[in-house]
Amino acid sequence: MKNIGSMLSTIVALMVIWVCLTLNFSISELGLGIVFSVLIAVSTRGGFTSNLFRLLKPARLAALLVYIFFFLSQMVKANIDVLFRVLRPVVPVRPGIVGADIGLRNLRGRIIIANSITLTPGTLTVDLIDDRIYVHWISLPDGDATAETQKLVDGFAKRLEKVLD
């Protein structure tokens, strides 16, 4: 059983979701939750999460917190950006799709980076083919757009690498 870790962490994650849904700590509710979690984890072969127990190291947790904080600040910036664009009389746009290399091995990590880029200022992930990520800009950055995109992707990848690898 290679993926027993991911299966166990799927069970734990589903149990947390179950408790959040029911908000009830009686024996019967918890027992039913465990039964359902095990059933789902077995039938989806632990597909929900990868091994979460690897995260339980102080350094990784700290890196995760740093990543989340960075992501949230970027998201707030993104909204201020959208706000100022929308409220202008003429919406200023100079759109373009730029490719960049993504230097992260972990598949789930790539998904996380793609989703994070969608929620950061002025960028939207259009496609993810092999190692290349294609990003749509509301208005292309001044100067070298390719280098700017690469910098953006690397900024996320560097922070996420500390969490995952």
Partner 1 sequence: MIRSIFGLILVLVLGAIMVAVVPDIEYSEEIHGVGLHYTSQGMQETGSANLVTAVIVAYRGLDTLGEVVVLFCASTSVVLILSLYPLSLKVSRPSFIVAQTSRLLPAPILLLGLYLIAHSHLSPGGGFPGGAVIASAFLLVMLGGTGVPGSSRNLAAVESLAGLSFGLLGFWGVMKLGQFLNNLVLGTGTPGSLVSAGLIPLISLVIGIKVASELSSVFAAFRYKGGH
Partner 2 sequence: MSALGIIGHVLLGAGGFILFVSGLGILRMPDVYNRMHAGTKATTLGSILFMLGIGCLEPVWLPKLILIIILVILTNPIAAHALARAVHSGPKDEKPDNLERDDLQEERAEGEDLDE
What residues line the site for partner 2 (CB under 8 A)? Answer: 17, 19-21, 23, 75-76, 78-79, 82-83, 85-87, 91, 93-99, 114-116, 118-119, 122, 124-127, 129, 132, 134, 136, 138, 140, 145
**Looking at residue 48, what DSSP letter applies?**
S
Q: Which is nearer to partner 1, 10 or 123 (CB)?
A: 10
Residue 47's binding partner out of partner 1, partner 2, none, with CB under 5 to 8 Å set by partner kind: partner 1
Nearest to 102 by CA among 87, 124, 89, 117: 117
Q: Which is nearer to partner 1, 112 or 141 (CB)?
A: 112
Asked if 128 is part of the footprint of partner 1 (rule: CB under 8 A), the reply reads yes
Give the chain's radius of gyration (CA, Å).
Answer: 20
Residue 56's binding partner out of partner 1, partner 2, none, with CB under 5 to 8 Å set by partner kind: none
Residue 90, both tokens: 């003429």
| Cα(109)–Cα(117) distance, integer angstroms | 12
Residue 143's binding partner out of partner 1, partner 2, none, with CB under 5 to 8 Å set by partner kind: none
Nearest to 120 by CA among 94, 82, 148: 82
Residues 9-28, interacting with partner 1 (CB under 8 A) = 10, 14, 17-18, 21-22, 24, 26, 28
| Cα(135)–Cα(45) distance, integer angstroms | 33
Asked if 164 is part of the footprint of partner 1 (rule: CB under 8 A), the reply reads no
Can you tell me whether residue 4 is helix, strand or coil?
helix
